[in-house]
Amino acid sequence: MPEGKIVKALSGFYYVLNEGGLVQCRGRGVFRKNKITPLVGDEVVYQAENDREGYIMEVKDRKNELIRPPIANVDQAILVFSAVEPDFSTVLLDRFLVLVEFNHIQPLICITKIDLADKEQIQAIKEYADQYREVGYEVILTSSETEMGIQALTPHVDDKISVFAGQSGVGKSSLLNVLRPDLELKTNDISTHLGRGKHTTRHVELIGIGNGLIADTPGFSSLEFTNIEAEDLNSCFPEIARQSENCKFRGCLHISEPKCAVKTGVESAGITKYRYEHYVEFLQEIKDRKPRY
């Protein structure tokens, strides 16, 4: 039976890309029975009814998957955050980074709308960018209006499945339109009443850009650490994970334990205060989570 990759899911149909083009498929009833939901990015085996229609028979093993946005087999997450409108948020960025790190996906931080920021805001953004680079993250400053940073971003999408993710209204669709102008993706301004972007992307779809595939995903502004346990969080902050090797006690959670290298390393060992505070906040959130049965 033929094989391919799901590049779009919409209204119960899965659009599978193979060497001959797109085939519109439905999932077999056995998937619903076994609680398996095919995702964009899945490698699948399908039974062809004809050249354009078929049924998905098998979903191959995934190397990773995200729930929000629903996508599988991602190589890279391009986390798109705006300098202004909406204002840059380190706590929201760190939430995205934790989820990405937990799923073993390579993150790239892209800060947009630099052209709309004033001198003080640009200086603050550059300082944040340097701090995240010190952690080990790639950070690119961009503007869809002036095309600043686009040449720096383009090589990062080649030969990868990337997901564009970030808060609504940060300019994900505008950025994709610059990377591939023929897309003409719908964009909306920030709602002045709500202070956030209007949802312009309604489904997940893999779009060919350069030699890679990028998923433009519905925007969302909150993340829950549903599957992350307290002892997992340490590894989702690379600088904390590195410094924790010097803690006296194995399994140290870096809150109240004696001789904790992480607590003493805030600021002096490349752990910024706000990143540590976010770690503490997220840890408490995980501890307060209602148990699942």
Predicted model pTM: 0.84
* Listed residue (51, 194, 48, 165) closest to 97, CA to CA: 165
- Kindly state whether residues 53 and 88 are assigned to the same domain: no
- Kindly state whether residues 164 and 70 are assigned to the same domain: yes
Q: Looking at the predicted structure, is the pLDDT value of residue 195 above 90? A: no
Query: What number is the average pLDDT over the span 183-190?
Result: 58
Work out the mean pLDDT of the chain and round it to a whole number.
Answer: 87
- Kindly state whether residues 52 and 120 are assigned to the same domain: no
Residues 26-58 have pLDDT tens digits of 988 767 777 788 999 999 999 998 888 999 999
Number of structural domains the chain divides into = 3
Q: Looking at the predicted structure, is the pLDDT value of residue 126 above 60? A: yes
- Kindly state whether residues 177 and 131 are assigned to the same domain: yes
Query: What number is the average pLDDT over the span 230-250?
Result: 94
Query: What number is the average pLDDT over the span 67-82?
Result: 88
Residue with tokens 């029975």: 33
- Kindly state whether residues 208 and 110 are assigned to the same domain: yes
Q: Is residue 196 part of a domain?
A: yes
